[in-house]
Amino acid sequence: MVEVSEKAAAELKSLLVEQEKEDHSLRIFIAGMSCCGVQYGMSLENEISEEEDVVEEIDGLKIVMNKNDVEGLSSATIDYVDGPQGKGFIIDNSSSANACGSCGGGCS
């Protein structure tokens, strides 16, 4: 199951209201692989496929994932960070292998 931090849930709810998209869900997905491991993506969507998607309701938010991505996202945590390098939502999945630099050249 995906987890959403309290800070991320509050920021996401605020974003949905600000953009007048209260009827939308947060779609999270596996965007690909790199030498640094799994790359994730997210978007706001209002279309859910009953055949292709899995929906989790967490703290009043709908989180949508394609059935093919569920296993790879099962231990993911969505958080919101605000620091010197910027602010935004992040997906952390400590169960996914992170082999950054294992290709010998580092990530670019």
d(CA 70, CA 108): 28
Q: Indicate if the pLDDT at residue 15 is higher than 90.
A: yes
pLDDT of residue 45: 93
Residue whose structure tokens are 């082999």: 99
Tell me which range, 6-10, 38-42, 95-99, 103-107, is most confidently predicted by mean pLDDT.
6-10
- pLDDT score of 38: 82
Q: Note the pTM of the prediction, 2 decimals.
A: 0.80
The pLDDT mean for the chain works out to 86
- Name the pLDDT band for 108 (thresholds 50, 70, 90): very low
Rg (the chain; Cα; Å): 15
Question: How many angstroms separate the first and last alpha carbons of the chain?
Answer: 31
